[in-house]
Structure 1
Amino acid sequence: MNFDLQLAGKRVVVTGGTRGVGAAVVERLSGLGARIAATARSLPKAPVDDVHYVAADLATAEGVRAAVEAARRHLGGIDILINVVGGSSAPAGGFARLDDAEWAKALDLNLMSAVRMDRALLPSMIAQGSGVILHVTSIQRVLPLHDATIAYASAKAALSTYSKALSKEVASKGVRVVRVSPGWVETEASVEFLAGIAANAGTDHEGARQLVMQALGGIPLGRPAKPGEVADLIAFLVSPRAGSITGAEYTIDGGTVPTT
C-alpha cells in the first residue's frame, strides 16, 4: 500500500532551508509535491527545482518581515510553517565568555526568529481554520553542553516551552503545533566542526567523531543522525497523517538522552 503523506499542493514555509536539516526538509517536501518558500541568510549553491528561495536574516525583525512578505507573494497563503533556523557561534570558555551581545544573538536566532515568524503567519492559519507549525528544538534543552552553548541551549529550552504553550492556545482553532528535538545531526556545519576538532586534537575525522560522541555521554546507536532522517520525521508530523498530534515533542538522537 502506498503511504501517501497527502502533502501535494500544501503551501509550506521552511526557515533555515538551504543547509543541513532545513535543506533536507525542503528536498523531501518538494519531492512529495508541496509548494515551498525557503528562507535563509544566503541563497543555496544548488537550489531545488520549483522551490522559491528568499535571502533574509531571520535573527532580525526586518528580516522576518521581508521573508514573510516574499513567501505570501509566492504562495498566496500558508498551510505549514517549519521553523528550522538556529545555531550557535558563541566562543568556547563557559558562561563568563558570553556577554549580553552573545546572549542576544542566541535568543534572536533560536527563539525570536520562530516567535516572529509564528506571529506573522499564525493569524491567517487561524482564519482558514487549519495549519501546522513545527519548531525544531534540540536535546540540549535537557542535555546542555556548558563550554560554548549555554545560551543556545537556554534559547532552545525557551522555544520548547513557548511551543507547548502555543499549542494549547491554538489547537481548538484548527492549528497544530509540534516539536522535533534532534541530537547530533551530521550536517555540513557538523563536518566543518569536526575538522576543527580533529586539527586541535591531532586526530582524524573518525577520531573527532568519537570525541564528540563521548562529550555527549555516548550515542547508543553509534552514530549521529542524518539530515534526511530528521526530514522524514518532520514530513510525517506536518502531514495530515499526523492530524491528531499536537503539543508533543519528538526526540531523534540515537538514544543520546538517557531518560524520556
Structure 2
Amino acid sequence: MTGFVTLERKRALITSGTKGAGAATVNLFRELGAKVLTTARSRPESMSEELFVAADLTTKEGCELVAQATHERLGGVDIIVHMLGGSSAPGGGFAALSDTEWNKELQLNLLPAVRLDRLLIPHLISQGSGTVIHVSSIQRQLPLPDATTAYAAAKAALSTYSKSLSKEVAPQGVRVVRVSPGWIETESSIELAKRLAKEAGTDVEGGKKIIMESLGGIPIGRPSKPSEIASLVAFLASDRAATITGTEYVIDGGTVPTV
C-alpha cells in the first residue's frame, strides 16, 4: 500500500479516530505521510494532544470546536473523513423507536457530517481542491428491522446528502465519495460475538457465525478488518483516485446480494 499510495503533505480531519476502523484509518494516513487531526469525546492516553480534539460531534458546538481546531492546528484541510457513526437504539422494531431515539440516530449518523461539511468545505472550494469521504453502511440497503431501522434510515439520508453534495462541489475541484462497510471486526463487535456465543452455548467463532447469519451471510466467510476499511479510504483520498467522485464503494465481503 505504501508503495502505491501516498498522502504526503496532505492535511486530514478524521472523525471518531480512536477505535476500530477510525483508529486504523488515522494510523494508515499518518504512515502515508498525512498530517491528521482526529476527534472523539475523550482522548486516549496514547494519542498526541496536539493532533486530537475532545468534542461531542452530536452537537453544533462540538462541530464548531473541531472546525476551528482544524484551521488552527492544520492550517486548513485537504481531506475530510467522516467515520463517526453507530447505534444505541433498543430492539423491538419501529414501535420501540421514540422521537428521542430517532433524534439520537440522526444527531450521530447524519448531522455531524452535514455541520462539519458546511463549516469546512468552503475552504476546500477556495483552494480549488479537496476530498470528502462519508462512511455510510450497507444497512442503508439492508436494515435489520428489529433494531437498526433508525440507524439505517440515517445512513440512507447521509448517502443521499453525499450524492447531492458531490454534484454541487465537483465543478469547484472538490471530490465527494461514500464508503459503505458491512460488518467490521472491531473490539465492540467481538464483544457482541462473545455475548451471543455465551447465550447460545457456543464459542466466539460460533458467535461470529450468528452475526453473519443475521446479515444473511457473508460469502467470503468473515467480517472486514479495520485495516481493510482504512486501505480503501486511503486510496479514495489519494490522488490515485483523482477522477472518482459522487459514487459509493461497498466493502462487505459480498453481503449485499443485489447489484
Q: Where on the TM-score scale, by shorter chain, does this alignment land: which range?
A: over 0.9
1:45 Cα deviation after fit: 4.3
Partner of residue 239, structure 2? 240
Partner of residue 177, structure 2? 178
Task: Return the alpha-carbon distance in structure 1 between the equivalents of residues 2 and 104 of structure 2.
Answer: 44
Partner of residue 255, structure 2? 256
Q: Deviations over 1:94-128 (max 9, x none)?
A: 11111001100000110001101111100000000
Partner of residue 22, structure 2? 22
Contact 1:36 1:51 in 2 (8 A): no
TM-score, L = length of structure 2: 0.96
Partner of residue 115, structure 1? 114
Matches within 5 A, 1:137-148: 137-148=136-147
Task: Return the alpha-carbon distance in structure 2 between the equivalents of residues 181 and 248 of structure 1.
Answer: 11
Q: The residue matched to 2:39 in structure 1 has which SS?
A: strand
Residue 2 to residue 137, structure 1, CA distance change in 2 (3 Å): closer
Q: The residue matched to 2:169 in structure 1 has which SS?
A: helix
Q: The residue matched to 2:147 in structure 1 has which SS?
A: coil
**Structure 2 letter corresponding to 1:111:** L
Task: Return the alpha-carbon distance in structure 1 between the equivalents of residues 26 and 50 of structure 2.
Answer: 8
Compare 55-64 and 37-46 and name the one that shifted more: 37-46
Please list every run of 5 or more consecutive structure 2 residues that lacks an aligned counterpart in the other structure.
none
Q: Is 1:87 aligned with 2:86?
A: yes
Matches within 5 A, 1:1-260: 3-47=3-47, 52-260=51-259
Contact 1:30 1:51 in 2 (8 A): no
Compare 1-10 and 93-102 and name the one that shifted more: 1-10
Please list every run of 5 or more consecutive structure 1 residues that lacks an aligned counterpart in the other structure.
none
Residue 145 to residue 74, structure 1, CA distance change in 2 (3 Å): same
**Structure 2 letter corresponding to 1:60:** T
1:200 Cα deviation after fit: 2.8
Task: Return the alpha-carbon distance in structure 1 between the equivalents of residues 115 and 220 of structure 2.
Answer: 36
Q: The residue matched to 1:114 in structure 2 has which SS?
A: helix
Q: Deviations over 1:12-57 (max 9, x none)?
A: 000011111110100000001100000111112432x697111111
**Structure 1 letter corresponding to 2:17:** G
Q: Deviations over 1:223-245 (max 9, x none)?
A: 00000001000000010110000
**Structure 1 letter corresponding to 2:139:** Q
Contact 2:11 2:77 in 1 (8 A): yes
Task: Return the alpha-carbon distance in structure 2 between the equivalents of residues 254 and 45 of structure 1.
Answer: 34
Q: Say how many residue pairs are matched.
A: 259
Q: Deviations over 1:198-234 (max 9, x none)?
A: 2333322111100010011100000000000010000
**Structure 2 letter corresponding to 1:194:** A
Contact 2:2 2:32 in 1 (8 A): no
- CA RMSD, 1 decimal: 1.5
1:9 Cα deviation after fit: 1.4
Task: Return the alpha-carbon distance in structure 2 between the equivalents of residues 63 and 7 of structure 1.
Answer: 27
Q: The residue matched to 1:180 in structure 2 has which SS?
A: strand
Task: Return the alpha-carbon distance in structure 2 between the equivalents of residues 34 and 251 of structure 1.
Answer: 24
**Structure 2 letter corresponding to 1:31:** E
Residue 50 to residue 130, structure 1, CA distance change in 2 (3 Å): farther
